[in-house]
């Protein structure tokens, strides 16, 4: 998703702007640009593609202003060309924007009728001309911006600078995150604290509807009613976190390998190791009285939620409804008081998940969010946060965030089970023990990746790949397919193994690898029958299982041998090979593993 940065500096800011944009690269982007005010005039450089292209442009024609804004763009309105890249500007004002201005067509028509000339296909340019229009009518920059903001509909974050104003920057937040960074005689704006980490760890997050007026020494915040407000200033931990690849070739590889550690860390937050029981923070609701759980999320976080559903139903005997947030938010789901709504999101900023949360809140549900970013909007709008302690996840393809989400959901299921009396103390201890053994099992799995490197050759030849799983392995199959699609661009689908014969079996031939996620549990024999159906049609089976190879009862292209673990922890354990299959296939194919095409890390538009 687009990244925003702004600097009111004491020296030329172009290099620092690019540096901050580099830290936002993980969000995904397809063009970039910066603008500064130099001798009272606005000027900008923009480039399609990666930041190195922008750096080349800046090298050829440097920008020397001490106040500037920068942007990495993930295209929504208009193709990812230089013309559509931000900053957008007139001779009076320059704007960078994350989000969507929903009423831009109406605004554009009005402004064009008044003689404003548009040069891009973006919605953002309407903001530029709206402010310019106010300035042309004699309004001062702050007044012109205030007036323009009152006319914008949609979800957005903005950073704005003005010609002739060397000590002024305005920021606004409505639906997309924005943070002020406080320096010594310098002031910053950024989409998140990670972008600002090299400059300052003193951060103020704007609330929904806030806008701010910054100079090098002051920051004044207004709420959506234009009343002056104070927002807390916090010390961000982002600066102390190393956002680099270490010895790994890609962030994704590093993040896969961090899983034993981050799962331990996350479980440590929810388990009393000495007593062998789960210890959840107060959820603002008596868990024994919860009558229904609703889970909502997107993408990988949604698949974590599906696993959570299986667990809560099994261990707490509680009905769970789960839906993709973009569907849930428009479904007009009837909700009774007494329900617990759980939202799962790495970034905590996903627009659809946030709206689903707001729907549940309006309908009297208690809101618990499983988020990786504690300062995120979803976290702030929840009754309780159940943090995942995964650290910043930079690779666009979610890995360690997924298994950390599963860790929290497993603890939540056990806590609900204990509160509702469906889990005996002995069973709880047995399950907690299984969870604590998990990091060790995952470490074992990560010791040898040769099998994945070999498989990558085979999978890279395929046009379609099917993933099959039964029961709680079904969401892992879907997650496997999503991972492969995202980073290798090979078409893949995850199916419930029993559903195969109801349609997808028509796809099977000798060119279709079928990856079967099948721990040796009570459903294993059923899945074996499905594998045989595949084998009979010439499909190439890759089995991921702790069962002896002979139990497959058919020819396998490969058997990824898994350690024996408790059924509760299998989804977390089996997530690792499906991540490694996708990773090594993408590396073999030479795709951009950490920033796959068209994808964004934090999806703040619907």
Q: Decide whether 245 or 566 has the Cβ nearer to ligand M6R.
A: 245
Residue selected from 347, 488, 527, 545 as contacting ligand M6R according to rule CB under 6 A? 347
Cα angle at 294 between 315 and 353, to 5 degrees?
A: 130
User: Which residue stretch of 53-61, 297-305, 508-516, 560-568 sits at the interface with ligand M6R (rule: CB under 6 A)?
Assistant: 297-305
266 binds ligand M6R (CB under 6 A): no
Please give the residues from 467 up to 486 whose contact with ligand M6R meets the rule CB under 6 A: 486
Kindly state the smallest distance separating residue 403's Cβ from ligand M6R, in Å. 12
Report the residue number, 85 or 193, with the smaller CB distance to ligand M6R. Answer: 193
Q: Which of 345, 365, 388, 530 binds ligand M6R (CB under 6 A)?
A: 345
Near ligand M6R in 84-113, by CB under 6 A:
none
At 13 the three-state DSSP class reads coil
**C-beta closer to ligand M6R: residue 124 or 350:** 350
Q: Per CB under 6 A, does 301 bind ligand M6R? A: yes
Rounded to whole angstroms, the Cα distance separating 63 from 41 reads 11
Within 386-405, which residues bind ligand M6R (CB under 6 A)? 396-398
Judged by beta carbon, residue 124 or residue 346, the one nearer ligand M6R is 346
The residue nearest ligand M6R at its CB is 299
User: Where on the phi/psi map is residue 122: left (φ > 0), alpha (ψ -120 to 50), or beta?
Assistant: beta
Span 553-592, contacts to ligand M6R by CB under 6 A: none
Identity of the residue, 69 or 397, whose beta carbon is nearer to ligand M6R in the bound complex: 397
Distance CA 29, CA 598 (A): 8
Q: How far is the CB of 298 from ligand M6R (least distance, A)?
A: 4
Extract the tokens encoding 198: 């090299």
Among 353, 369, 407, 569, indicate the residue that binds ligand M6R (CB under 6 A): 353
Closest to 32 measured CA to CA, from 46, 20, 43, 19: 46
* 3-state SS class at 234: strand
CB of 306 to ligand M6R, least distance (A): 13
35: β partners: 44, 69
Q: Taking the complex as a whole, how short is the minimal distance between the CB of residue 190 and ligand M6R, in angstroms?
A: 18
Q: Which stretch binds ligand M6R (CB under 6 A): 137-145, 158-166, 298-306, 442-450?
A: 298-306
* Binds ligand M6R by CB under 6 A, chosen from 90, 204, 300, 326: 300
Of positions 9, 299, 305, 308, contacts ligand M6R by CB under 6 A = 299
**Chain residues 487-516 in contact with ligand M6R, contact rule CB under 6 A:** none
SS3 string, 38-105, reads: ECCEEEEEEEECCHHHHHHHHHHCCCCCCEEEEEEECCCCCCCCCCCCCCEECCCEEEEEEEEECCHH
Minimal distance, residue 350 CB to ligand M6R, in Å? 3
Distance in Å, CB of 402 to ligand M6R, minimum = 8
Nearer to ligand M6R, 176 or 346 (CB): 346
Q: Does 307 bind ligand M6R (CB under 6 A)?
A: no
Gap between the Cα atoms of 219 and 214, Å rounded: 5
Q: Choose which of 350, 369, 375, 527 interacts with ligand M6R (CB under 6 A).
A: 350
DSSP-based three-state secondary structure for 425: helix
CA-based end-to-end distance of the chain: 12
Task: Single out the residue of 51, 179, 298, 306 in contact with ligand M6R (rule: CB under 6 A).
Answer: 298
- Which of residues 38 and 255 has its CB atom nearest to ligand M6R in the complex? 255
Nearer to ligand M6R, 521 or 606 (CB): 606
Region for residue 572 given its phi and psi (left: phi exceeds 0; alpha: psi -120 to 50; beta: otherwise)? alpha
Residue with tokens 């990988």: 300
346 lies in the site for ligand M6R, by CB under 6 A: yes
# residues near ligand M6R by CB under 6 A? 16
Ordered DSSP codes for 341-406: EEEEESSS--HHHHHHHHHHHHTT-EEEEEES-TTSHHHHTSSEE---------SSS-SHHHHHHH
| CA-to-CA separations, 496 to 51, 229, 363, 489, 530, in angstroms, rounded | 42, 52, 33, 22, 10
How far is residue 539's CA from residue 523's CA, in Å, rounded to a whole number? 21
Catalytic residue positions, numbered: 2, 601
Q: What is the dihedral of CA 555, 561, 564, 569, to 10 degrees?
A: -100
Per residue, the 3-state secondary structure of 97-158, as one string, reads EEEEECCHHHHHHHHHHCCCCCCCCCCHHHHHHHHHHHHHCCCCHHHHHHHHHHCCCEEEEE
Site stretch for ligand M6R (CB under 6 A), options 200-208, 339-347, 421-429, 440-448: 339-347
Between 197 and 378, CB nearer to ligand M6R: 378
Shortest reach from residue 345's CB to ligand M6R, in Å: 3
Contacts to ligand M6R by CB under 6 A: 298-301, 345-347, 350, 353, 396-398, 486, 599, 602-603
């Amino acid at each position: 998703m687009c990244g925003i940065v702004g600097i009111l500096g004491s020296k030329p800011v172009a290099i620092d702007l690019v540096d901050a944009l580099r830290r936002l690269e993980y969000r995904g982007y397809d063009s970039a640009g910066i603008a500064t005010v130099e001798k009272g005039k606005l000027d900008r450089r923009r480039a399609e593609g990666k930041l190195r292209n922008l750096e080349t442009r800046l090298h050829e024609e440097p920008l020397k202003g001490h106040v500037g804004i920068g942007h990495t763009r993930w295209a929504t309105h208009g193709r990812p060309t230089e013309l559509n890249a931000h900053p957008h500007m007139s001779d009076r004002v320059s704007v960078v924007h994350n989000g969507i201005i929903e009423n831009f067509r109406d605004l554009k028509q009005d402004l064009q009728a008044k003689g404003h000339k548009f040069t891009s296909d973006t919605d953002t340019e309407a903001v530029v001309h709206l402010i310019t229009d106010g300035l042309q009518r004699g309004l001062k920059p702050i007044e012109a911006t205030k007036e323009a903001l009152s006319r914008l509909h949609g979800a957005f974050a903005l950073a704005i600078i003005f010609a002739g104003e060397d000590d002024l920057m305005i920021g606004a937040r409505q639906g997309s995150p924005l943070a002020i960074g406080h320096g010594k005689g310098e002031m910053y704006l950024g989409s998140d604290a990670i972008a600002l980490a090299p400059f300052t760890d003193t951060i103020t997050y704007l609330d929904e509807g806030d806008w701010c007026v910054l100079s090098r020494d002051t920051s004044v915040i207004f709420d959506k009613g234009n009343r002056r407000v104070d927002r807390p200033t916090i010390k961000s931990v982002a600066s102390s976190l190393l956002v680099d690849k270490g010895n790994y070739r890609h962030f994704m590889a590093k993040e896969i390998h961090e899983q034993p550690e981050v799962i331990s860390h996350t479980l440590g937050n929810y388990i009393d190791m000495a007593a062998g029981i789960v210890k959840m923070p107060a959820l603002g609701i008596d868990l024994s009285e919860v009558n229904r759980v609703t889970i909502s999320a997107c993408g990988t976080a949604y698949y974590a939620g599906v696993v959570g559903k299986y667990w809560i139903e099994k261990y707490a005997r509680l009905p769970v409804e789960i839906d993709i947030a973009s569907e849930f938010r428009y479904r007009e789901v009837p909700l009774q008081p007494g329900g617990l709504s759980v939202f799962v999101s790495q970034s905590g900023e996903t627009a659809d998940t946030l709206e689903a949360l707001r729907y549940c809140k309006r309908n009297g549900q208690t809101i618990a969010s499983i988020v990786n970013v504690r300062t995120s909007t979803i976290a702030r709008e929840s009754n309780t946060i159940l943090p995942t302690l995964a650290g910043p996840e930079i690779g666009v393809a979610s890995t360690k965030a997924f298994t950390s989400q599963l860790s929290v959901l497993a603890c939540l299921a056990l806590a609900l089970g204990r509160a509702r009396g469906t889990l005996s103390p002995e069973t709880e201890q047995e399950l907690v023990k299984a969870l604590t053994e998990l990091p060790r099992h995952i470490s074992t799995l990560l010791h040898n990746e040769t099998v994945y490197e070999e498989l990558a050759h085979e999978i890279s030849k395929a046009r379609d790949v099917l993933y099959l799983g039964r029961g709680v392995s079904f969401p892992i199959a879907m997650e496997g397919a999503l991972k492969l699609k995202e980073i290798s661009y090979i078409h893949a689908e995850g199916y419930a193994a029993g559903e195969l014969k109801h349609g997808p079996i028509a796809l099977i031939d000798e060119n279709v690898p079928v990856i079967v996620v099948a721990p040796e549990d009570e459903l294993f024999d059923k899945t074996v029958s499905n594998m045989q159906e595949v084998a009979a049609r010439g499909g190439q089976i890759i089995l991921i299982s702790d069962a002896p190879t002979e139990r497959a009862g058919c020819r396998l292209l490969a058997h990824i041998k898994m350690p024996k673990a408790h059924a509760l922890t299998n989804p977390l354990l089996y997530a690792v090979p499906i991540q490694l299959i996708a990773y090594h296939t993408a590396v073999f194919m030479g795709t951009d593993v950490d920033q796959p095409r068209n994808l964004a890390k934090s999806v703040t538009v619907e």
